[in-house]
Amino acid sequence: MAVSFNADKTSGANPSFWTEGVEPLLFKKLDGPLETDILVVGGGIAGLTTAYCLAKSGRKVSVVEDGYLGSGETGRTTAHITYALDDRYYDIERYFGLEKAKTIAASHIEAILFIEKTVMEENIDCGFRRVDGYLFLDPTDKHENLDEEFESTQRLGLPTEMLYDIPTFAGQLRERCILFPDQAQFHILKYLKGLSAAIVRLGGEIYTESRAADIDKRGATVNGFEVRANHIVVATNTPVNDLFTMHTKQWPYRSYVIGAKIPKGTLPYSMWWDTGNQDSKWVAKPYHYVRLEPFDDRDDLLIAGGEDHKTGQADEENLPEEHRYAALISWTKARFPYFNETAYRWSGQVMEPVDCLAFLGRNPGDDNIYIITGDSGNGMTHCTIGAMLITDLVHGRENSWESIYSPSRITIKTGGDFISEVGNMAYKMAKDWISSDIEKPSDLKSGEGGILSRGLKKLAVYRDEDGALHSCSAVCPHLGGILQWNNEEKSFDCPLHGSRFTAEGVVINGPADSDLAKIRLEDD
């Protein structure tokens, strides 16, 4: 029987195809003090891959995960394992130079090989398979850009080809596209299950429903108990150990996914990506990403994603969260007209770094604290690269990726886009302090939330399915952003750095590390 995650233990109200399809990956709670060599905070692909690499290298590893394994953004991914990055290689070449760009491209290929080898060595039954992928132009993008991208991939030594139509694609048959051969896909939660079994076999410990706080160079407090460690890896998607530094270098975006059943054999297992809407107001141009996953004996699941916007700012395009799926379905049907109904819909949060690359390695200013963050839409490979790199750093081994992915790096990309994103934060901060979505509690129907002004106070108010009213401060405990109601995932989301809270104010995503303050409010 399919088991859903406990609603408090996932990062959204809509279960994904992955989280519905497997038993929750649950271990025991940490219930006492602990001494270990390496403490890994976070049980997504980043934390578990790092724990696996370190345990395999002979180190004593303890993983603590706030929810279940995979209950963060990893459980809401679409799991394209690819070196066709969601930023363009010609931009990466511009920001990092040709030689570093070659190393970057090679690091993603190495990550795919690592995953493939791990699946084979650990005998993980997760449907890993190699597939071809096709990158084609969004109608708003220029033809020269596809040529430029192709030329860049060739300079970097990638085995790409320019094709003159998009295989198996119904909409624009004579469109050119770049073929990226031999990409990969898998069932992400089955992969995590295999990794977690291997970690335990190698002597590692995993604790779920175990929340870390007060992280410093000595360890952390977990479920109120002291945990001492020689090295600490913060793999919480967005770092929860840092108030400011990293949150000025990356920005949260919400991305939407649908899963639709189509009869097996209609399409070959492949991946398709467009180059993104260049007319979009967002710095990270939203693009579409599509692939197939086996569903049952009769059907495959066509999984399509896109329609992104900055977290908490869907209304800035007059397209609230719940209407994004209609746009996604219509885009998908125009190109893959093989399905009638969507079986799944969910959304998740992606951290977009300022210069296309994730931040992987030593936390700025720390010797023994490491972070994996800023994965953009390439978290499967970025997190795997982070795991391999951090393993070398812990062992004191040199790694040519260290300076490229360093969270302390400074690149030329601190100009226009950086200023736009910072400007967007300042604008949101000012605008949200003077606006509210509801005037009184009775404006809310059951299952709805909103932001209410009471004098100088901002309240995050939610009416539950039984009609009871819940009220908290709408001021984000991280750095004071005003939260926005996300009616689709039933959460309060911070538009500044992406902290998120359940409808009743419990923190789900950092960087905030505490719940919302409760505020008494009479119903009217």
Binding site for ligand FES (CB under 6 A): 476, 478-481, 494, 496-499, 511-512
- CA quadruple 401, 405, 408, 410: dihedral positive or negative? positive
Q: Which does 292 bind (CB under 5 to 8 A by kind): ligand FES, ligand FAD, none?
A: none
| Range 212-241, binding ligand FAD (CB under 6 A) | 212, 235-237, 240
Residue 497 touches which of ligand FAD, ligand FES, none (CB < 5 to 8 A by kind)?
A: ligand FES
Q: How far apart are CA 179 and CA 162, in angstroms?
A: 6
Judged by beta carbon distances under 5 to 8 A according to partner kind, the member of ligand FES, ligand FAD, none in contact with residue 137 is none
CB of 65 to ligand FAD, least distance (A): 5
Q: End-to-end alpha-carbon separation of the chain, Å?
A: 43
Residue 305 contact among ligand FES, ligand FAD, none, beta carbon within 5 to 8 Å by kind = ligand FAD
Q: Is 80 in the site for ligand FAD (CB under 6 A)?
A: yes
* Residue 116: other Cβ atoms inside 10 A: 17
Q: Which is nearer to ligand FAD, 184 or 267 (CB)?
A: 184
How many angstroms separate the CA atoms of 141 and 178, rounded? 14
Structure tokens at 362: 């030593």
Cis upstream peptide for 337 (omega within 30°): no
Position among 380, 387, 394, 516 found at the interface with ligand FAD (CB under 6 A): 380
Which of 40, 55, 45, 66 minimizes the C-alpha distance to 229?
A: 40
Comparing CB distances to ligand FES, the nearer of 309 and 463 is: 309
**Counting contacts by CB under 6 A, is residue 71 touching ligand FAD?**
yes
Options 199, 372, 404, 461; binder of ligand FAD; rule CB under 6 A: 372
Minimum CB separation of residue 512 from ligand FES in Å reads: 6
Which of residues 67 and 481 has its CB atom nearest to ligand FAD in the complex?
67
How is residue 419 annotated by DSSP? Answer: H
DSSP for 138-165, written as a single string = -TTS-HHHHHHHHHHHHHTT---EEESS
DSSP-derived secondary structure for 233-251: EE-SSS-SS-SSGGGGSEE
Among 77, 275, 384, 399, binds ligand FAD (CB under 6 A): 77
Which partner in ligand FAD, ligand FES, none is near 511 (CB below 5 to 8 A by kind)?
ligand FES
DSSP 280: -
**Rounded CA separation 337/252 (Å):** 32
* Between 394 and 452, CB nearer to ligand FAD: 394
Whichever of 393 and 512 has its CB closer to ligand FES, that residue is 512
Q: Provide the residue count of the chain.
A: 524
Instruction: Work out how close the CB of 142 gets to ligand FAD at its nearest, in angstroms, rounded to a whole number.
Output: 25
Residues 36-55, mask of contacts with ligand FAD (x by CB under 6 A): -----xxxxxxx--------
Q: What is the dihedral of CA 115, 121, 122, 127, to 10 degrees?
A: 50
Tell me which residues in 279-298 interact with ligand FAD (CB under 6 A).
289
Contacts 24+ apart (CB under 8 A), 289-296: 289/78, 289/80, 289/86, 289/377, 290/332, 290/335, 290/336, 291/78, 291/80, 291/131, 291/185, 292/262, 292/267, 292/268, 293/17, 293/127, 293/185, 293/187, 293/259, 294/127, 294/264, 295/261
CA dihedral 210, 215, 216, 219 (to 10 degrees): 0
Cβ atoms of 49 and 195 within 8 Å: the answer is yes
| Site of tokens 């710095």 | 283
Nearer to ligand FES by Cβ, of 361 and 511: the residue is 511
Rounded Cα–Cα distance for residues 94 and 90 (Å): 6
Is there binding between residue 87 and ligand FAD (CB under 6 A)? no
Which of ligand FAD, ligand FES, none binds 236 (CB below 5-8 Å, type-dependent)?
ligand FAD
Question: Is the separation of the CB atoms in 354 and 400 below 8 Å?
Answer: no
What residue 24 binds from ligand FAD, ligand FES, none (CB within 5 to 8 A, per partner kind)?
A: none
- Compute the least distance from the CB of residue 80 to ligand FAD, in Å: 3
Q: Are 380 and 45 in contact (CB under 8 A)?
A: yes
Which one of residues 62, 107, 183, 255 is an interface residue with ligand FAD (CB under 6 A)? 255
472 binding ligand FAD? (CB under 6 A): no
Q: In the complex, what is the shortest distance from the CB of residue 428 to ligand FAD, in angstroms, rounded to a whole number?
A: 21
Q: In the range 475-494, which residues lie near ligand FAD by CB under 6 A? A: none
Which residue is listed with tokens 């976070």? 42
| Cβ nearer to ligand FAD, comparing 394 with 451 | 394
User: What is the footprint of ligand FAD within residues 302-341 (CB under 6 A)?
Assistant: 305
Q: Determine which residue in the list 15, 24, 67, 276 makes contact with ligand FAD, applying CB under 6 A.
A: 67
Is the CB of 194 or the CB of 353 nearer to ligand FES? 353
Residue 356 sits in the site that holds ligand FAD (CB under 6 A): no
Q: Which residues bind ligand FAD (CB under 6 A)?
A: 41-47, 64-67, 71-74, 76-80, 211-212, 235-237, 240, 255, 257, 289, 305, 348-350, 372, 375, 377-381, 383, 510
